[in-house]
Amino acid sequence: MIGLHRRPRLELMLLLLPGAGFLAALFGFPLLTALLGSFGLVGDDPALTLKFYARIFTSTVLLRSLATSLYYGVVPVAVTVVLAIVLALALRRHFAGRKLFNGLYKIPLKLPKMVRDPWGIGVIAATTWKQLPFMTLVITGAFAAIPEDIRHAARTLGAGPIRAFLRIELPLALPGITAAVLLTFIGSMGSFAIPDLVGAPNPLPLSVRMVRAFAEGDMSQVFAIGMVLSAFAFAVLIGYYALTSRVGTAKGDSR
C-alpha cells in the first residue's frame, strides 16, 4: 500500500471507486443503455436511427404529449410556490397560521368535478397537494435564513410589511425558492401516477405514453421519451445555473 501514496491519483480513484462505482453501475450503465437504445442501438435489430426522436417531435400526438408534460410540470409548481410562500410566512405567526390551516384543509371537500377535465384541475390540485410540504419546508428555511434585523431595518426605513417583503425578503430568499422550484419541476414534469389517475384521457403526458410504450414492448420508444424528459430536466438545471451564477455576484452574504 505504500506504493499508493506515491501515486495520489491512483489512490484517489480507488477511494472513489465504491461510491462512484455504485453510481456508475446502477445509474450510469442503465442511462447509457437508455441513451443508446433511444438511437435504436439496443435490442433485436440494432441500427442507428433517429426515428424514435423524430416521432416525438413530428407526431402531433407526441408533441401534444410533450406540451402536456410541460403544462403538468409548470402549472402545479407555479401554484405550489405561491401557496408555499404564503404558508411559510403564515407559519411565522401562530395565530394567522391556525386560521389558514382551518380554511386550507376544508378546500378539497368543496371543489366540484376536478378529474379528467381539459385544464387538468384535478392533476394540478393533487400534484400541488403532493409537492406543498417539501416546497414549504425549503421555502420556510429560505426565509428563516434571513436575519430578523434586516426585516426590521426595512420597516424602520419606512417600508410597510408588503414592500419590505417584496423588496427585501423575497429577493434574499430567492435562491432557496428557486432551488425548490427547479427540483420540484423536474419531478413534476415527469410525474406519472397523478396524471395517469386523474388527468384527462386526452392529451396524455409523455410519462403516461412512456408506460404505454413499455406495455407494448416498444423499448426504443421508451428510451427516446425518457431521454427527451431527461433532456428537459437537464436544460432546466443548466438554465438555473446560468441565471443564478450572475445573480449570485449581485447578492452578498451579510457579515
- Residues forming the site for other proteins (CB under 8 A): 29, 32-33, 36, 41-46, 59-61, 64, 113, 116, 147, 149-150, 152-161, 163-164, 167-168, 171-172, 196-204, 211-212, 214-217, 250-255
Nearest to other proteins of 102, 156 (CB atom): 156
In angstroms, the CA 70 to CA 185 distance is 9
In angstroms, the CA 175 to CA 178 distance is 5
Q: State in angstroms the smallest separation of the CB of 102 from other proteins.
A: 25
In angstroms, the CA 194 to CA 81 distance is 19
C-alpha cell of residue 168: 427585501
Cis check: omega of the bond before 203, within 30 degrees of 0 = yes
Q: State in angstroms the smallest separation of the CB of 173 from other proteins.
A: 11
> With left for phi above 0 and alpha for psi between -120 and 50, is residue 199 left, alpha or beta?
beta
Nearest to other proteins of 83, 204 (CB atom): 204
Nearest to other proteins of 236, 244 (CB atom): 244
Nearest to other proteins of 83, 121 (CB atom): 121
The Cβ of residue 31 has, within 10 Å, a number of other Cβ atoms equal to 14
Buried b (16+ CB within 10 A) or exposed e, 133-155: eebbebbbebbeebeeeebeebe
Q: State in angstroms the smallest separation of the CB of 130 from other proteins.
A: 18
Q: State in angstroms the smallest separation of the CB of 25 from other proteins.
A: 12
- Quick one: which H or E segment has residue 78? helix 60-90
In angstroms, the CA 244 to CA 250 distance is 10
Q: State in angstroms the smallest separation of the CB of 220 from other proteins.
A: 12
In angstroms, the CA 88 to CA 100 distance is 11
Q: Where do we find the cell 461510491?
A: 19
Nearest to other proteins of 52, 185 (CB atom): 52
Q: State in angstroms the smallest separation of the CB of 226 from other proteins.
A: 14
Q: State in angstroms the smallest separation of the CB of 37 from other proteins.
A: 8
Nearest to other proteins of 33, 78 (CB atom): 33
> If we measure between CA atoms, which residue out of 75, 123, 133 comes closest to residue 101?
133
Nearest to other proteins of 13, 235 (CB atom): 13
The Cβ of residue 34 has, within 10 Å, a number of other Cβ atoms equal to 19
